[in-house]
Amino acid sequence: MSRHEPADLLQGTLDMLILKVAALEPIHGYAIVQRLQQISKDALQIRQGSLYPALYRLENRGWLKAEWKTTEGGREAKFYSLTREGRRQLEAETAGWKRLCDAISLVLETTE
């Protein structure tokens, strides 16, 4: 689906992060980027152009639902929120990510 094959892991990670941020409350694309950079203390640099294809993909899979709403600034924006399926997916991905991290740190610590 993506034109950048080597970015597979990164793409999967971005999906997970988007789901996580959208799980809190309905949120538009710009705010997702802000929130991610804020939470990660700017350690995560997201290529903003790849955010929207990811959002569309997640909506397509039924994990996000979108709705046009008015922002505080009085403009129309598309707000994304998690579906029930998206919540399950987020749990599964988080668990998988934790297992992967544990496994990697285990290897790194044992071979030290």
Partner 1 sequence: MRIPFSRRNWERQMDAELRFHLDQQIRDYMDRGLSRAEAEWRVRQEFGPIELAKDECRDQRSAELLNHIWRDLRLACRSLRKSPGFAAAVVATLALGIGANTAIFSLVYAVLLKPLPFPAPDRIFSVETLIPRQNALSSLPMRVQDYLKWRNVNTAFESIAALTPAQWNLTGNGEPERLGGALVSANFFTFLGATPQRGRTFTAEEETPGKQNVVVISDSLWRRRYGADPAVVGKTIMLNAVPRVVVGIAPPNYWSPPARCSTRR
Positions touching partner 1 (CB under 8 A) are 1-3, 28-30, 33, 47-50, 52-53, 56-57, 59-60, 62, 65, 68, 75-78
Residue 16 or 59: the one with the smaller Cβ distance to partner 1 is: 59
Handedness of CA 49, 80, 86, 40 (dihedral sign): positive
Angle between helices 8-24 and 51-60 (to 10 degrees): 70
The residue (of 20 and 57) whose beta carbon lies closer to partner 1 is 57
Nearest to 44 by CA among 23, 81, 17: 17
Closer residue to partner 1, CB minimum distance, 86 or 90: 86
State the nearest-atom distance from the C-beta of 26 to partner 1, in Å.
14
Backbone angles phi, psi at 72, to 5 degrees: -60, -35
